Amino acid sequence: MNSPNTSGLLRRAARRVLGSTSSSGSAGTGAGAVAGPDAVEVGPRWLRVGDGYTATLAITGYPAEVGGGWLEPLLSYPGRLDVALHVDPLNPATAAKRLRKQQGRLESARRSAARDGKLDDPETEAAAADAADMAFALARGESKLFRVGLYLTVHARTAEDLDAEVEEVRSLASSLLLDAQPAAWRSVQGWTSTLPLGVDLLGMRRTLDTPALAASFPFTSPDLPAADPSPHAPLTGRLYGVNASSNGLVLWDRWGQDNYNSVTLARSGAGKSYFTKLEALRSLYPDPHRPTPEGEVGVQVFVIDPEDEYQRLTEAVGGTYLHLGAPDVRLNPFDLPPGAQRIPDALTRRSLFLHTLLAVMFGEPLTPQETAVLDRAVTATYARVGITADRRTWSRPAPLLADLADALDDDSTATGDPAGTDLAARLTPYVSGSFSGLFDGPTTRAPDGHLVAISLRDLPDELKSVGTLIALDAVWRRVLDPHHRRRRLVVVDEAWLLMHQPEAAKFLYRLAKSARKYWAALAFVSQDAGDVLATDLGKAIVSNASTQVLLRQSTQAIDTIADAFRLSDGERAYLLAAGPGEALLVSGTNRVAFHALASDAEDELITTDPEFLSGISTDEEDDLEP
């Protein structure tokens, strides 16, 4: 039976949780009625709350000594487990009086045992020593006493599942030397005691001193907090891997963060491309909890691939793969974006990008005089093919780089300014020289499809930065299409190729800043962490990424990484010793170490293991033999 005071507390708590009733007797429509369950059925050892079952365990026995974070195994339990810790400080005078009384009992027990010739009881001796130490600490003001209640509420779908979950939790508690007893015939009181109401209706307390209580904090879990903490909320996000601390699953939703960008930094061979390909593949899967336009599945993924690492994956899922630099494969930088007529400044943006492109080609920024000449020449180049400020002309075929070189020569002839002739001469390798294959015709194939990978492997080293910029620009033109908005992931692998060029780095920074406005995410992947973080633009790109993934780092770069991401000593040591695929996910205050986890089918598509790839090549050659 409950005392009147306890019954009153229970009624008030039930009203706060389940919602009150109106004066007419109908269900209340306030916040409590909305947030509470639709019904509660009370059993001797369980409650049926809504469509699930709960049972509460009270901790009645504690270990003699505890270490820091001793509650962590309970907090990282893989099932749904509510852990409540009720703490009430004891008045120092009352605490001292109780300690003296306890010391008297223990001393009386010791003398009685000695008088009867019994052996010393180790438990009594230990308790007496602890009580003496606690009394001295309390007298000196070094410690205080607290009345602490620890309760665990287990949740399950069915009564049978609940019994199994309760046994697992009790076994876990036993491994921590905790005695967990069911709150039989007090199910409602136990459940209420673990709700965020601040009431303890069980009252099963144990006295702890300050060090023991402090060892229970921080009251956190190594697992990431759920986006929706409700008991049966659907899981969202993509599977990244297994939590290194709790063996739980790490599910992360980049589309649920403040911005959708990500940064992945690692030394060569740490598994950054493996992890990036795994996320790209899983991004293609449909998300049942997020609506997509009719006929579309998952996220549209674009990849700037410097080493043909994504070819097998792209071909396996029926994507589009472009070998930029191969014969008859071109992306014309003069092309206006799809749906340009709906973008008022589309032609102006093209002109500005061509300024950036030429600066990267020449390897240095343009002078003000060269910028003015180039601006006139670009306008004249478009005008020669009938493209003007009139939007109705923007659907006409775009000019080529050779047309721009001719316009620069004509501008010098008309104005007498030699800057145009000089720029045209510097464009000669790209117009009629060794690098002309990339620019000597219109776009051969548009980068369209659910997975589009643009390879840069066939480009010479002198054209890597230029090719990366052209490929990224072609992708970005698709992102800017206002008529066809959907979630898009743009992966720039080996992004350090662009960071070496100031103008290209500025272009990448602008994309990082504006991606969210177009429902797009930029995934910045690089193995040269030192160079990325050594520049202001690199730091800005990192700061504009809500999702940051760090894999194994070199000893030369770890200090820079630690300062930029504010790593602890333990996190530094983890990144220095991490194996392939082991990573640290950083997002604001959330930090979790995990190991990338792929199925066998996924692993075959994304692995870069030379031995495995060599076996595939041998099998393909055998298939070709008659």
Q: What are the tens digits of pLDDT across the range 476-503?
A: 888 887 677 889 999 998 887 777 777 7
Higher pLDDT, 372 or 115: 372
Higher pLDDT, 154 or 533: 154
Q: pLDDT confidence of 31, banded at 50, 70, 90?
A: very low
Residue 232, CB half-sphere, CA atoms under 13 Å: how many?
Answer: 10
Q: pLDDT confidence of 186, banded at 50, 70, 90?
A: very high
CA distance 125 to 103: 11
**What does DSSP say about strands 262-265 and 300-305: parallel, antiparallel, or unpaired?**
unpaired
Residue 78: per-residue pLDDT: 79
Mean pLDDT of 351-378: 91
Lowest pLDDT segment from 12-26, 191-205, 513-527, 546-560 = 12-26
Mean pLDDT of 285-297: 64
CB within 8 Å of 16: residues ≥ 6 apart: 32, 197
| 491, 385 contact by CB (below 8 A) | no
CB within 8 Å of 445: residues ≥ 6 apart: 320, 322, 329
Mean pLDDT of 5-20: 39
* Cα angle, residue 118 at apex, residues 113 and 123 outer, rounded to 5°: 70
Residue 617: per-residue pLDDT: 55
Higher pLDDT, 97 or 554: 554
SS (H, E, C) 360-402: HHHCCCCCHHHHHHHHHHHHHHHHHCCCCCCHHHCCCCCCCHH
**What does DSSP say about strands 300-305 and 488-492: parallel, antiparallel, or unpaired?**
parallel
Residue 612 predicted with pLDDT over 90: no
pLDDT > 90: percent of the chain:
33
Lowest pLDDT segment from 28-42, 203-217, 475-489 = 28-42
Q: pLDDT confidence of 231, banded at 50, 70, 90?
A: low
Instruction: Quote the pTM value.
Output: 0.68
Mean pLDDT of 70-84: 86
Residue 58 parent element (H or E) = strand 52-61
Picking from 331, 350, 337, 361, the residue whose alpha carbon sits closest to that of residue 440 is: 331
Give the sheet arrangement for strand 547-550, strand by strand.
249-252, 238-243, 590-596, 582-587, 547-550, 262-265, 520-526, 488-492, 300-305, 451-455, 320-323
Residue 595 predicted with pLDDT over 90: yes
Mean pLDDT of 142-167: 91
Higher pLDDT, 41 or 7: 41
Q: pLDDT confidence of 218, banded at 50, 70, 90?
A: low
What is the chain's mean pLDDT, rounded?
83
Residue 10: per-residue pLDDT: 37
CA distance 580 to 374: 48
Running DSSP on this structure, what letter comes out for residue 201?
S
Mean pLDDT of 583-588: 90
Q: pLDDT confidence of 506, banded at 50, 70, 90?
A: confident
Picking from 280, 273, 264, the residue whose alpha carbon sits closest to that of residue 309 is: 273
Mean pLDDT of 502-518: 85
Strand, helix or coil at 457?
coil
Mean pLDDT of 177-198: 92
Mean pLDDT of 29-37: 51
Structural domains in the chain, CATH included, are 37-90+144-214 (3.30.70), 259-331+446-592 (3.40.50.300), 346-442 (1.10.8.730)
CA distance 168 to 593: 25
Residue 230 predicted with pLDDT over 70: no
Higher pLDDT, 193 or 613: 193
Residue 542 predicted with pLDDT over 80: yes
Residue 191: per-residue pLDDT: 93
Lowest pLDDT segment from 148-157, 410-419, 497-506 = 497-506
Residue 551: per-residue pLDDT: 93
Q: What are the tens digits of pLDDT across the range 81-118?
A: 999 999 998 887 777 777 778 778 877 887 887 788 87
